[in-house]
Structure 1
């Protein structure tokens, strides 16, 4: 039996009321396998970020169910779910260590975690350099370090390579691939197909708010051709 760290069952999110209500996520059922990197794909506005915001507690689902580690999602699970959704919440006038220390104090976490996560993301030697002077790649890695402070089982990243140069993308790719070896499952949303091709074990494709495809990503598979085919057909019934 496959072990899923995260499942969504017929998840729905509507914005507005009555006849003017817009359905952003329409009965999406994801299956994120423990110890894997799951790549969530879709055109702009397809519902990827809205889905992740429901899983991370930023939005309340209109209908459906979220299961974490086999039980119905509850707010306490957020201590075991690390996330970087939208821009990293950094204090630009503080160093990497100081940014992390603020979070350990707020969350009541042991200060020893700071050294651990700085090493995990490759920022141990930033010294007194303030976060506002970091490169975009360093800021993203510091944002991931913040998400890792509570030692989560699941890490959720929404478009983590946005704004990065090729070197930053390559460094982040290697970091993401390393997480399952540390016991951390990754749910990654991206519109960069080449990065998902090199990073993910499983892909899900959302089109028009619906999950139109979900399966393992096989070696040599043409993800771009698959993505375009799924987006053209649109309906899960037509894909399967």
Structure 2
């Protein structure tokens, strides 16, 4: 029997009269990469912000590890949503030191996450001088500090060059082997196709499709079919 680390049931979020997320029910399997696909403005980020406690759902339920989600569960969730939260005048190590101090974590965790994201040898170079790919990896290192069981990455390859995308893809694929489940949101089909085990497709705030990725499946055709159906 497959175990789900995260599920949502009829999750909704309204902003005044606009329904940004409409009865979304996700099921994310433990130790997998779940690709959350959708065009810009589909409701992906709003959904992830509810899971990470940034936004309060209008209605619906979130279940984490078999129990109703509470803010205590944020200790087991790491997230990189939108731009990495970096102090650009500080080094990678100094950025992580600020967080370990705030979270009350042991300093040895800094070396562990720097090794995971391959930023050990950045020395005194300040984060403001990092490439986009290095900034993204440092953002992921920050999200990994608390040893999360679930890692949420919202459009992590935005602005990256092909080498940066390939490096990040390899990094994300390594997480399930370390006991970390990943939710990866993107509007880039090829990226999710090469990285995720399962996908959910959101359009117009509605989850129109959820299933395991099948080898040889025409994801572009499926994506367009779901998006157009929900636009009607």
Give the TM-score taking structure 1 as reference length. Answer: 0.95
Q: Deviations 1:63-120 (Å, cap 9, x if unpaired)? A: 0000111111111111100000011110001110000000000010111110000000
Residue 108 of structure 1: which of 104, 107, 111 is its match? 104
Partner residue of 1:139? 135
Residue 71 of structure 2: which of 47, 72, 75 is its match? 75
Residue 51 of structure 1: which of 47, 53, 62 is its match? 47
Shift in Å, 1:234: 2.1
Within a 5 Å distance, the mapping from 1:100-179 to structure 2 comes to 100-179=96-175
SS in 1 for 2:57: coil
SS in 2 for 1:234: helix
Shift in Å, 1:164: 0.5
**How many equivalent residue pairs?**
232
Greater Cα offset, 224-233 or 66-75: 224-233
Distance, in Å, in 2 between the alignment partners of 1:2 and 1:209 is 27
Is residue 2:12 matched to residue 1:5? no
Partner residue of 2:15? 15
Is residue 2:33 matched to residue 1:34? no
Residue 189 of structure 1: which of 165, 185, 188 is its match? 185
Shift in Å, 1:34: 0.2
Shift in Å, 1:181: 0.7
Deviating beyond 6 angstroms after TM superposition, the runs of 4 or more aligned structure 1 residues are none
Residue 97 of structure 1: which of 74, 93, 100 is its match? 93
Distance, in Å, in 2 between the alignment partners of 1:182 and 1:84 is 18
Q: Which runs of 5+ in 1 are unaligned?
A: none
